[in-house]
Structure 1
Amino acid sequence: MQDVQVGDRIDQHHDRRGVIALAVVAVLLAAGLVAVAVWPEPPRPAPASPVAAVVEYDPVDCASGRVVPDQGQREIASEGYVPPAEAVIASGSRVTVTVQGTAGRAVVLQSARVEVVRSLPAPVGLFLRAGCASKVPPRYFRVDLDRSEPRLVAEPDTPDFPYRVDQADPEQLIVTTKVTTALVEWRLRLAWTSGEESGELVLDDHGLPFRTTAVTGSRELCLDGEAMWRSDCS
């Protein structure tokens, strides 16, 4: 009989243990009892948008103003006046959107739509009307926030979408608001295409929704020249 060395027996024992271990793992995998670590791929950075916009939202025209808390004031000095945090821009205000290409190629602005975030009762306060400005915007629209589904409507002398923009040829869109019964929080969503790419640019007030209120619940103070808001509007 051929002698079996001790080392051979140990190797054979290890081989049998390895085979048994593999068989056990296979059974557990089939039964779903062993979790296999799968490392997710790192997230890919989102492609840079070929279009950017600068948004201004301020009642710079005498058709609008701000509603501020009513503390019984009979007059308020306008020079150096800083509206409180609770102030809300009133119906008739304008959102100015300047859109420009960023990638050295043309971008087509296909459309823009209004997204209402929520509608609240109009606040009771003081309506401080803004002074008048003389600048005439190049393309302007209106939006009726009283509607269940507000939409942008081009003014008669403004051609409607689409528009073409690039780095050297921006567009400026002026949106005049109207609301008669509520305080409405809303955003604009601007759809664009560039070659085979497409996307949507969300336009709001520095990351927060625009807030536009009716003035039906407010007492108006009239602007006396450029110096003082007074309760006597005669």
Structure 2
Amino acid sequence: PPPPTTHPARAPAGAAAPSRQAPANGPALTVSTTPYYWDVPCDHAFLVDRSPKNVPKPPPQQDAVGWATPLNAVSANRQMTVLTVQGTGPETVVLEDLHVRVVDSGPALDWNQYVMGNGCGGQVDVTAFDVSLDLGTPLATPIGGQRDFPYSVSESDPEVFHVNAHTSGQNVSWYLELEWSSGGRHGTTRVDDHGKPFRTSASKDSSYYAYPLGSDAWEFVEGE
């Protein structure tokens, strides 16, 4: 006999919805997460508990998860995360608020810092929600012209949010909760790193390893 079905079948993406409401037993929205995002490679660094000879060369941004996961790498000092939020049907889903939840906070990691790029200019201002993980209760605060919540999405009208989390002295495990409503339905969707909390830690000092263009090895750069 066929195995029992434990989840309701979903229509393929883009299929016409027969009704104006999302299925009562299904999510009203989906969230696609990019845990590590940078416009230029100098904007991101990782802490890794390994010597330079045991750390592969820096990846392009789209391959960051595959690089960081086997190394147990942790974002150094700041972490830009991108959320793409989309409704599952034609009806409007109102995104009421974005909450920051801290799972654990402790002393900064005493690991080597590896910068993903070398020789860039200063940081680029970005439209985002800023999260100071050093606060007792971190908030997602709009910066750079970002409009605050609420927002509205549907299947044909997604929204993209940048979240810039940072710490100057802690090692923080955290995730986000997106509060939403659609018609008479209300819910909260957890946003994290593929089932695990995001992790962001301050670096022990400003020294780091860089991988210059044309090089085949990490080079140590003394901090100020």
Normalising by structure 2, report the TM-score: 0.74
Deviations 1:10-47 (A, max 9, x none): xxxxxxxxxxxxxxxxxxxxxxxxxxxxxxxxxxx972
Alpha-carbon shift at residue 195 of structure 1 (Å): 1.2
2:88 is equivalent to residue 102 of structure 1: yes
- For structure 1, the 5+ residue unaligned runs are 1-44
2:218 is equivalent to residue 229 of structure 1: yes
Between the aligned residues of both structures, percent identity stands at 30
Q: Whole-Å Cα distance in 2 between the matches of residues 70 and 168 of structure 1?
A: 45
Q: Whole-Å Cα distance in 1 between the matches of residues 180 and 58 of structure 2?
A: 41
- The amino acid of 2:48's aligned partner reads V
Q: 1:220 to 1:135 in 2, by over 3 A?
A: closer
- The amino acid of 1:229's aligned partner reads W
2:45 aligned to which of 61, 65, 71? 65
Partner of 1:86: 72
2:114 is equivalent to residue 128 of structure 1: yes
Alpha-carbon shift at residue 127 of structure 1 (Å): 0.7
Q: Whole-Å Cα distance in 2 between the matches of residues 115 and 88 of structure 1?
A: 18
- The amino acid of 1:192's aligned partner reads W
Q: Whole-Å Cα distance in 1 between the matches of residues 84 and 214 of structure 2?
A: 28
Q: Is 1:110–1:193's contact at 8 Å kept on the other side of the alignment?
A: yes
Partner of 1:195: 183
Alpha-carbon shift at residue 217 of structure 1 (Å): 5.1
Alpha-carbon shift at residue 140 of structure 1 (Å): 1.4
Aligned pair count reads 190
Alpha-carbon shift at residue 205 of structure 1 (Å): 0.6
Q: Whole-Å Cα distance in 1 between the matches of residues 99 and 82 of structure 2?
A: 15
Q: Whole-Å Cα distance in 1 between the matches of residues 111 and 97 of structure 2?
A: 36
Partner of 1:167: 155
**What is the DSSP-based 3-state SS (H/G/I as helix, E as strand, rest coil) of the residue aligned with 2:188?**
strand
Deviations 1:164-219 (A, max 9, x none): 10111100010011101111000100001111111111000111111111112574
**What is the DSSP-based 3-state SS (H/G/I as helix, E as strand, rest coil) of the residue aligned with 1:188?**
strand
- For structure 2, the 5+ residue unaligned runs are 1-7, 9-23, 61-66
RMSD: 3.2
Alpha-carbon shift at residue 59 of structure 1 (Å): 4.9
Deviations 1:78-136 (A, max 9, x none): 26794443311222221100000002211010100000001122211211112369999
Q: Whole-Å Cα distance in 1 between the matches of residues 110 and 176 of structure 2?
A: 26
